[in-house]
Chains A and B, each alone.
Chain A
Amino acid sequence: RKEVEQDPGPFNVPEGATVAFNCTYSNSASQSFFWYRQDCRKEPKLLMSVYSSGNEDGRFTAQLNRASQYISLLIRDSKLSDSATYLCVVKSNDYKLSFGAGTTVTVRA
């Protein structure tokens, strides 16, 4: 079983729509959680950390459910520039990051 699993998508949404997707993780001892954004074959870039109480960063909202071991990302008012692959990342100790394979989002005009 993969340590981090994501729906690969693609999620194809019109501009202005809301899109949400989840990932699940297998290690219940995981300590930190992140969403990274990766544009086509470029380096992953940190989008936001995910906190237990949930957190927002502009149009992006992240939620963590430790009991069910899943993390979600919601994008409101989608922009064309939000088209990317979103990587769910879980940190299980001080150095080890486990990456999901990514969820592809395409925002169309």
Chain B
Amino acid sequence: DADVTQTPRNRITKTGKRIMLECSQTKGHDRMYWYRQDPGLGLRLIYYSFDVKDINKGEISDGYSVSRQAQAKFSLSLESAIPNQTALYFCATSGQGTNYGYTFGSGTRLTVV
């Protein structure tokens, strides 16, 4: 099994719909993150969580919300999807400390029409 599992892998949704992207990890790390990737822009941080009771906004949190249901689970919601939220979304987890790299899930390709 993958260390970080994202569902769904692909999703097409209509403008205005609510959608949830789910993420679970088996690394045992406390820290989890949601990123989006757009062509030519690199990955950008949406939300991050250092433990179940700690949720923080990243650089592009508008239009998104998150829920940390357990140490291993971190979901991202788009309350009312809009076309410019079409992107590739990655969940990641890491250990604590500046020298830790991140382990990413395989991504969710979201298209809002």
Contact B90 A43 (CB under 8 A): yes
Contacts of A89 in B (CB 8 A): 101
Contact with B along A30-45 (1 / 0, CB 8 A): 0110101000011111
Contact A43 B105 (CB under 8 A): yes
Q: In chain B, residues 56-100, which have Cβ atoms closer than 8 Å to a Cβ of chain A?
A: 88, 90, 96-99
**Complex CA distance for A2 and B41, rounded to whole angstroms:** 9
Contact of A42 among B45, B97, B107 (CB under 8 A): B107
- Does B34 make an interface contact (CB < 8 A)? no
Contact A41 B107 (CB under 8 A): yes
Contact A87 B98 (CB under 8 A): no
Interface range for A: 20 to 34
Contacts of B50 in A (CB 8 A): 95
Contacts of A91 in B (CB 8 A): 98
Q: From A30, which residue of chain B is reached at the shortest CB distance?
A: B98
Contacts of A41 in B (CB 8 A): 88, 107, 109
Contact with B along A19-51 (1 / 0, CB 8 A): 000000000000110101000011111100100
Q: From A5, which residue of chain B is reached at the shortest CB distance?
A: B42
- Does A101 make an interface contact (CB < 8 A)? yes
- Does A4 make an interface contact (CB < 8 A)? yes
**Complex CA distance for A95 and B94, rounded to whole angstroms:** 9
**Complex CA distance for A16 and B78, rounded to whole angstroms:** 46
Contact A43 B101 (CB under 8 A): no
Contact A49 B101 (CB under 8 A): yes
Residues of A within 8 A of B (CB): 2, 4, 8, 31-32, 34, 36, 41-46, 49, 87, 89, 91, 93-102
8 nearest A-B pairs in the assembled complex, by CB-CB distance: A99-B42, A43-B104, A46-B101, A99-B43, A101-B42, A31-B98, A32-B98, A43-B106
Residues of B within 8 A of A (CB): 31, 33, 40-45, 48, 50, 88, 90, 96-99, 101-107, 109
Q: Could you name 11 residue pairs across A and B whose Cβ atoms are closer than 8 Å?
A: A31-B98, A41-B88, A42-B106, A43-B104, A49-B101, A87-B42, A93-B98, A97-B43, A97-B45, A99-B43, A102-B42
